[in-house]
Structure 1
Amino acid sequence: MGIRSELQVVRHMLFPRARGTRPTERMESYYAPTAHAYDAFRAGDRLLHARGALYGRLPLREGDHLVDFGAGTATGIERLGDERRRLCRRITLVDASESMLRVARDRVERRGWHNVTTVHADATRHRPSDGPADVVVFSYALTMIPDWFGAIDHALSLLRPGGVIGVCDFHVSAKHPPAGLVRHAAWQRLLWPVWFGHNNVFLSADHLPYLRHRFETVHLEQCLAPVPYVRARVPHYVFIGRKPAAASPHPAEEPCACS
């Protein structure tokens, strides 16, 4: 990433623009100016540290339909690897920003991913036309969805019984979190919501408890990782859950933490 593009992204983050009344309008106005540089600044291990862990752990089966909400430029799907990506009958990338999806479509075409399609839609509304989904993913997306309760409930409704949800994102804990969840320091609980909220990324102590309430926990990680230009580490989590289904029980893993 060139210094000029890097400065453009930093300037946009310092003085963000998110205009419009609908989620699709706000996402497009925010991402359109820097969609071309999104991957270089945020991808890999620079900021979105938990993405590789999420896609690497998704329990995919042959013939699955994977719906990736807030898929952005499709870098997450790259983390699946060719063999696991080809297992899927269909992969649908859903995003509210048309500029981000243009980058995603270019990547899909260059890579020759014939089973991958893109959809410009709200994560609380899109429903597959060919029946229930097998896997739903939110990769650093819930914190940018105002109605994240609705997004999770919608994902639950469109998954088949026993289907899988995978989520990774930034977060902060409650002052007194439920058992099994990490408790963050007071400065973390105060600083990071303000820091990220400036760019319309809203960290919440309620994401993980609600996900654990709605889904059977398959895997949970809670980590701290660095932020570019800042000498501090922000909390991330990886959650993989299963839609409750008596006919397809799945043993839950013990929560783990990394630093």
Structure 2
Amino acid sequence: MADAAAEMDAIYRLQRHIYDASRKYYLLGRDGLLDTLDVPLGGSVLEVGCGTGRNLILAARRYPSARFFGFDVSGAMLETAAASVAKAGLSRRITLGQADASRFEPRDLFGVDGFDRVFISYALSMIPPWRETIDRALHAVAPGGSLHIVDFGEQGRLPGAFRTGLRAWLRKFSVEPRAELEAELRRVASETGASLSFERPFRDYACSAILRKPSA
């Protein structure tokens, strides 16, 4: 975890202060993901790769009876997240931790065996072991719960020059859209008995998915 944390800290140590203001223009679909959570009363929600805490704060306001948890590998991002959560007056409802997304254990991290909802927003494209991260995230979903994902798509229905420029810019931040994401999710769904819905909104600029875990 140390190497991944150091890399992310190096990228975001300064950028974290302007991250939310700048990313709202191109991290499309994040708020739509929060709409799909449909958290049950008194439910629990985990964000994998919570960054600045922006999504957790919005979700906590949207679902006032739920309890929220989030973790990130970057200590610098977590400093910003903790300050933002405290400023929002949500420290009692949002618990933060530091962990590697591809190896985390919910009970070790938060003392919780599973969550009603788990979501990953624009993080898989930054995590080299992204397949392992999906496995761990689905493992953290309680029976009958769901895993929600939004990230960059393939931009296949957008102008080629736009796609080329976007990919070059994203690489500066160690971001790589996962071309095999849909295929991997379909494999996981088949092997675990989960149901999958997968969409490519904004002309394939983004992709969004929901894996629903069967009840026990």
Question: Which TM class, normalised by the smaller chain length?
Answer: 0.7 to 0.9
Aligned partners of 2:46 and 2:70 also within 8 Å? yes
* Corresponding position: 1:62 with 2:38: no
Superposition TM-score, scaled by structure 1 size: 0.71
**TM superposition shift of 1:21:** 6.8
**TM superposition shift of 1:158:** 2.0
Alignment partner of 1:118 out of 90, 96, 104: 96
Alpha carbon RMSD of aligned pairs, Å?
2.5
* Corresponding position: 1:235 with 2:201: no
Q: Deviations over 1:130-188 (max 9, x none)?
A: 21222111101000001000000111222222221011110217xxxxxxxxx546937
**2: CA distance, partners of 1:52 / 1:185:** 22
1:122 aligned counterpart, secondary structure: coil
* Corresponding position: 1:210 with 2:184: yes
Extract unaligned runs of 5+ from structure 2: none
What is the one-letter code of the residue matched to 1:151? T
Aligned partners of 1:171 and 1:237 also within 8 Å? yes
Indicate how the Cα distance of structure 1 residues 79 and 211 shifts in structure 2: closer, same or farther if over 3 A, else same. Answer: farther
Superposition TM-score, scaled by structure 2 size: 0.84
Aligned partners of 2:57 and 2:88 also within 8 Å? no
1:149 aligned counterpart, secondary structure: helix
**TM superposition shift of 1:224:** 2.6
Q: Mapping of 1:2-41 within 5 angstroms?
A: 22-41=3-22
**TM superposition shift of 1:217:** 4.4
Aligned partners of 1:58 and 1:240 also within 8 Å? no
What is the one-letter code of the residue matched to 2:131? F
2:18 aligned counterpart, secondary structure: helix
Indicate how the Cα distance of structure 1 residues 131 and 71 shifts in structure 2: closer, same or farther if over 3 A, else same. Answer: same
Correspondence for 1:153 = 135
2:144 aligned counterpart, secondary structure: strand
Correspondence for 1:100 = 77
**2: CA distance, partners of 1:56 / 1:150:** 26
Aligned partners of 1:56 and 1:79 also within 8 Å? no
Correspondence for 2:119 = 137
Correspondence for 1:224 = 202
Q: Mapping of 1:126-205 within 5 angstroms?
A: 126-128=104-106, 129-172=111-154, 184=157, 187=160, 191=164, 192-205=166-179
**2: CA distance, partners of 1:107 / 1:21:** 24
